[in-house]
Structure 1
Amino acid sequence: MALAVTVPSIKLNNGRHMPAVGLGTWQMDDVEAEKAVMQAIDLGYRHIDTAFIYNNEVAIGKAVRQKIKEGRIKREDIFITSKLWCTSHSPEAVLPACHRSHRYLSLDYIDLYLVHWPFGLKSKTEVQSPQEFDEFDSTSLEDTWREMEKCVDEGLVRSIGVSNHNSVQLARVANVARIKPVVNQVECHVGLSQHQLLQFCRDWDVIVSAYCPLGAPYRTGKPRGAPASLEQPALIQIANKHGRTPAQVALRYVIQLGAVPLPKASSLEHMNDNLKIFDFKLDKREMEILDKLDKNDRLITFPQARHHLDWPFKIPF
């Protein structure tokens, strides 16, 4: 087997380290997720991103345990992120939800546990998809966060953070936190550079991890006339100059913005390509060119919750 790529890590505000690129697993079923994670670990990935609502925690845990059993990695070599779903925001539901993800993964601990969205939802039945809820839950961000801290206290998780939180929501959490959020995971790509939110997170010493870092690579419905992310002529031109793929340049752009990209990939070729982004740099002019591709082209908005008081996209960042 070829030598695995070594991925650098970044330091979190609690002193722990997180690998600077990870594998996203949204919309991977059990079979695909288990195979992808095992292949990813062999290639050099040391950061896997999942969530309760992805319905693949069991498969991902199985893949990681297999690679530990093979001696390919030790538990401390790999960084696992999971997330609290919206239907478990009430104070009495947070710890049980974390215990469930911990049990599904069947690892000693979860490295990072995030509040998936800032708004709570209620469901009378066990949810299998984001669309499944009956009504809004009015539990405050602050009350949910206090329960998240107990997940650290009990040793279930090493670090906690948030996802899809705007600047006001992040500040609300940070201002009451006994254990500070280390990460805010948000959508970030050449079509949505998030400069203002990134700077805000830096000011609070919170790392941004980026989902959808490739945008929607080849979609046909192009809002506001914008080409799909990887088909932008400027992106292709820069990629050709560096002898790279447009995807590699798009990921490098996200890294140089200061975020940790979490590209989803299940093919060996794409997973391998997505790791080879640490041996070249974009110059200032190239970053400026890519900045101009920002059309505020947000792909993930959770429109079913747009009338919730804590829906995060009511303000610019």
Structure 2
Amino acid sequence: MTASAIFEKLVLHAPHISTKQLIPAFIYGTAWKKDATTDLVYQALCNGFTAVDTAAQPKHYREDLVAAGVSKAIKEGKVKRSDIYLQTKFTSVQGQDPDNMPYDKNSPVTEQVNASVISSLQNFNFTDVVKDDDDAEPYIDTLVLHSPMRNIDETMEVWRTLEQYVPNEIRNLGISNCNLFTLMDLYERSTIKPSIVQNRFYPSTKFDIGVRKFCQEKNIIYESFWTLSANPNLLWSAEVGSLAEQVNITPQSALYALVLGLGNVTILNGTKSLKHMQEDWDALQKVKGLAKSQPQQWEQALTAFRKLIGQPRP
């Protein structure tokens, strides 16, 4: 892989899918957007984003308004459903608002999972706006288990219920907020292997060096979140500042580029600013240009960043 290739779309390795699925460097994050969700998703899809993350968790997400933003973009010809990567989550009772959840909290967990998936598929039904028959039936590109359950047996019960929807209604499965040991156990026990791990990228987990290494070995894409807000020491470091100055981008965009440079990584980018949406995508092109024209300088920047986060050379 060339140095500049890290900013291209990553391939989701799913042997049960006949067509190659791609996931871009940035996924638009929609947590806590509330009533602004529709407009922000539409704006994101009109300004470089082709992937959106949400959850069937009304406490923090408005999955229905995400769908409304996507529908508007499709209807106006800004995007096609087949060009968009839509990712949502099943969230357990413990992570839900007890007065507002997509299933009966007193029902068995398998019924909770089924009800949650059905509600997501209903939201992602774009039959009234899609023009391609291949996109007529609603589907979810990746369904993420929002957090492991209380123990591995309960986690596997949820996972096996989700597996029944693959590859038709759900194309891929993933897990979030997961440590290395749980991930390894899940991978070993599952029939449909996780395609995605979505975790906080921050010092408390030593930047998930072990998890990311496992993901690379198993062709699992690592999705970084809290990349900016949890890392002020990285954001204002000399290493990040040096790259920002070298290619004339913001420190925020430079940190994103360096995290992507670790390889096999995508980033949840939840900016509400149109300016920042455009800046972040433009910055990737600038850094890609540096990596292509001056690979030694780019590798020096990456080496310094790996050292900063305590990661050995690959």
TM range (shorter): 0.7 to 0.9
1:237 to 235, 242, 257: 242
1:90 to 87, 109, 120: 109
Matches within 5 A, 1:1-317: 8-14=8-14, 15-30=20-35, 32-53=36-57, 54-87=60-93, 90-107=109-126, 108-120=138-150, 140-152=154-166, 155-188=168-201, 193-216=207-230, 227-258=232-263, 259-276=265-282, 277-280=284-287, 281=291, 283-294=298-309
- CA deviation digits over 1:180-204, x for unaligned, max 9? 2111111126895322211111112
Counterpart residue identity of residue 207, structure 1: I
Kept in 2, the 8 Å contact 1:190–1:250? The answer is: no
Aligned-pair identity in percent equals: 25
Q: Runs ≥4 in structure 1, deviation > 6 angstroms?
A: none
Residue 210 of structure 1 deviates from its aligned partner by: 1.0
Kept in 1, the 8 Å contact 2:198–2:224? The answer is: yes
- Residues of 1 paired with 2:285 and 2:149: CA distance? 36
- Residues of 1 paired with 2:73 and 2:302: CA distance? 38
- CA deviation digits over 1:144-166, x for unaligned, max 9? 1101101225x322111111212
- Residues of 2 paired with 1:239 and 1:247: CA distance? 8
What residue is the counterpart of 2:98 in the other structure? Answer: none
Q: Could you say if the C-alpha distance between residues 170 and 16 of structure 1 is closer, same or farther in structure 2, counting changes exceeding 3 Å?
A: same
Matched position secondary structure for 1:93: helix
- Residues of 2 paired with 1:164 and 1:78: CA distance? 24
Kept in 1, the 8 Å contact 2:13–2:220? The answer is: yes
Kept in 2, the 8 Å contact 1:10–1:18? The answer is: yes
Counterpart residue identity of residue 8, structure 2: P
Kept in 1, the 8 Å contact 2:202–2:230? The answer is: no
- Residues of 2 paired with 1:239 and 1:17: CA distance? 28
Matched position secondary structure for 1:48: strand
Kept in 1, the 8 Å contact 2:30–2:61? The answer is: no
Provide structure 2 residue ranges, at least 5 long, that are not aligned to the other structure: 1-6, 15-19, 94-102, 127-137, 292-296
Kept in 1, the 8 Å contact 2:247–2:286? The answer is: no
Matched position secondary structure for 1:17: strand
Counterpart residue identity of residue 42, structure 1: C
Which stretch shifts more, 144-153 or 69-78?
144-153
When you count helix as a share of all residues, which structure comes out higher?
Answer: 2
- Residues of 2 paired with 1:189 and 1:241: CA distance? 25
Provide structure 1 residue ranges, at least 5 long, that are not aligned to the other structure: 1-6, 121-136, 218-226, 297-317
Residue 250 of structure 1 deviates from its aligned partner by: 0.7
Report the RMSD for the aligned CA atoms in angstroms: 2.4
